[in-house]
Every structure is written in C-alpha cells, then in structure tokens.
C-alpha cells in the first residue's frame, strides 16, 4: 500500500517519456523525470517520498521534505490565501496550513514549527501549528537527567516551549535560559523532571562534570576570541556573564575555579587571562 506523505520503497515497473512508473500494476504513480536518478538500483526498488500534485494526483520524488506525516519541522510562511497559509516544506508544491489548523494567524515570512498530518477526508497532506494534538503525552519511557534533542516552537511568560526528541512537549524555564533563543532553533538539552501532565521540564545545562566541562569550554573560547583576555570575573554581574558566555553565574564561577586550579587561567585586575 502506498502511504501519502511518507517515504515508500516502491518497485520500478517501467520507464515512460514522463519518468518512471512505481508501485504495482493496480496501484502505481509517476516519478517525474527530473527526479529519476542517473543510476537506478540493481534490485529494481526505489525509496521515494509520496505527495499530491496541484491536481491532487499521487506523485513521487526522491527529494525529502523537511517533515513527513507524523513529524514536525520549522518552516517559513511563503503565501497567504483565502483558505489558509502556505509554508515551504522543501518540495515544489508548498504545504497548506488551513486557518482551522493555525494556533494564531500566520504572517508572511514568519518562521513557525509545523506538524505534518494527513487529512483523512481529502487524503491531502496538510500542516498544523496547533502542536498539542501532535505531541505524545506518554512520557513513561523518559528519565530525569536523560540527554534529549530540542526544537524551540514558542515562548510564554514562563519560558520557552520545545519539542523534545521530535515527539514530546517540554518547557525551558526562563530563569534557566542563558542565551537568546529563536523559533525553529535546534539544540541539546537534559530532562530535569518528568511531569504528571505528560510534559517535560528541560535544562540546557548538562549535569555534573559534563556541564562543568561545557562551561570551561565556553570560557576558553571567549579567551581565545579575546586574544587571551576576558573582562569577566567572579564579581561580574550575572547579566554580563549570561550575555557574553550564555552561562549562569553559578556555572561560570564553578568552571572558573576548575580552570584556576588547573593553572589554565590567571586572575588579573578586571578579569582573567589565559596562561
């Protein structure tokens, strides 16, 4: 069975002037010539992504969109119409986000995280910025202190909203954010707490020794960029440390102590210098 909005491995049936027919004699579709590989696989099977063209015909491509059905990705709004907004998902035909699927009205040029799904009534692939319905609430397989991958999709008065491992909902509290974040940004994080409501509390700082090593590297990078000098020290305001290094003052002081004990840095008037 051919799955729309997903990758399919289909058998090559025959070549036509338009391209390749893939699938079975009963259910087949066209891979247009512009996507036909120069060298076809010896076993006669080809992995393609299946979507619908402007006339709602099934069509295959060897390109891969930013996200398929059941996946989420950051996309840019490229057109606004009377039926909704269209976003660039990496294929020639842009992806429709209908008005009813928009968490808030979309603006031209806006970057937004979109969940891709299949509209069962029309068999068309559509997008949605109402992500709650697409996030898994079963977080029983997640453990505190687990390393995870994050995708920033929004902000509120508490902090930054993130998709965790492409599947779960998470929150970065603003008092634990020490760098400027943007919609669509991907970064590494650590699970602080698994909540009863199916969401995850996340931190960008790794725990223990690994987190201290990250902070040390941030300080050493800043020293290298400043030709061995850095105008921060243990009495510097937290805001200055956060702005310059993306670290909390606590993490900065802990890493500073480790580097000083290792004789990697010296304390000088108004800052530190690399030995």
| Nearest Cα residue to 19 out of 38, 32, 35 | 32
Four-point Cα dihedral 36, 37, 43, 48, nearest 10: -60
Q: Report whether CATH 2.40.50.140 matches the domain 7-61.
A: yes
Q: How far, in Å, CA of 157 to CA of 55, rounded?
A: 44
Tell me what the mean pLDDT of segment 16-29 comes to: 93
Any idea what DSSP says for residue 3? P
72-132 homologous superfamily: Nucleic acid-binding proteins (2.40.50.140)
- pLDDT for 207 equals 67
Least confident of 70-79, 185-194, 259-268: 259-268
Q: Which of 78-87, 113-122, 143-152, 212-221 has the highest mean pLDDT?
A: 78-87
The CATH number of 208-274 is: 1.10.10.10
Least confident of 8-17, 71-80, 136-145, 266-275: 266-275
Query: pTM for this one?
Result: 0.79
Q: How would residue 218 be classed by pLDDT, with cut points 50, 70 and 90?
A: confident
Say if residue 227's pLDDT is above 80: yes
Q: Which residues contact 90 (CB under 8 A, 6 or more apart)?
A: 63, 64, 65, 66
Q: Say how many C-beta atoms besides its own lie within 10 A of residue 104's C-beta.
A: 10
Tokens matching residue 109: 């040029």
Q: Which residues contact 205 (CB under 8 A, 6 or more apart)?
A: 176, 190, 211, 214, 215, 248, 251
**Under CATH, which architecture does the 147-203 domain have?**
Beta Barrel (2.40)
């Amino acid at each position: 069975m051919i799955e729309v909005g997903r990758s399919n491995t289909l058998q090559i049936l025959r070549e036509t002037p338009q391209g390749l027919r893939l699938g079975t004699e009963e259910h087949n579709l066209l891979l247009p010539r512009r996507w036909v590989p120069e060298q076809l696989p010896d076993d006669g099977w080809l992995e393609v992504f299946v979507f619908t063209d402007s006339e709602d015909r099934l069509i295959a491509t060897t390109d891969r969109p930013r996200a398929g059905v059941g996946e989420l990705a950051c996309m840019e709004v490229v057109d606004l119409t009377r039926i909704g907004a269209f976003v660039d998902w990496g294929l020639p035909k842009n992806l429709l986000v209908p008005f009813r699927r928009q968490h808030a009205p979309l603006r031209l040029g806006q970057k937004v995280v979109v969940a891709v799904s299949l509209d069962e009534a029309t068999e068309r692939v559509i997008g949605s910025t109402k992500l709650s319905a697409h996030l898994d609430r079963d977080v029983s397989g997640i453990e505190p202190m687990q390393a995870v991958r994050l995708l920033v999709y929004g902000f509120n008065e508490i902090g930054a909203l993130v998709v965790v491992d492409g599947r779960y909902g998470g929150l970065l509290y603003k008092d634990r954010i020490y760098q400027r974040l943007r919609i669509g940004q991907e970064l590494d994080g650590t699970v602080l707490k698994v909540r009863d409501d199916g969401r995850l509390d996340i931190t960008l700082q790794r725990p223990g020794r690994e987190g201290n090593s990250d902070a040390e590297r941030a300080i050493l990078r800043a020293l290298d960029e400043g030709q061995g000098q850095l105008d921060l020290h243990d009495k510097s305001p937290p805001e200055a440390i956060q702005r310059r290094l993306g670290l909390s003052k606590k993490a900065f002081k802990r890493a500073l102590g480790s580097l000083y004990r290792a004789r990697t840095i010296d304390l000088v008037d108004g800052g530190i210098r690399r030995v």
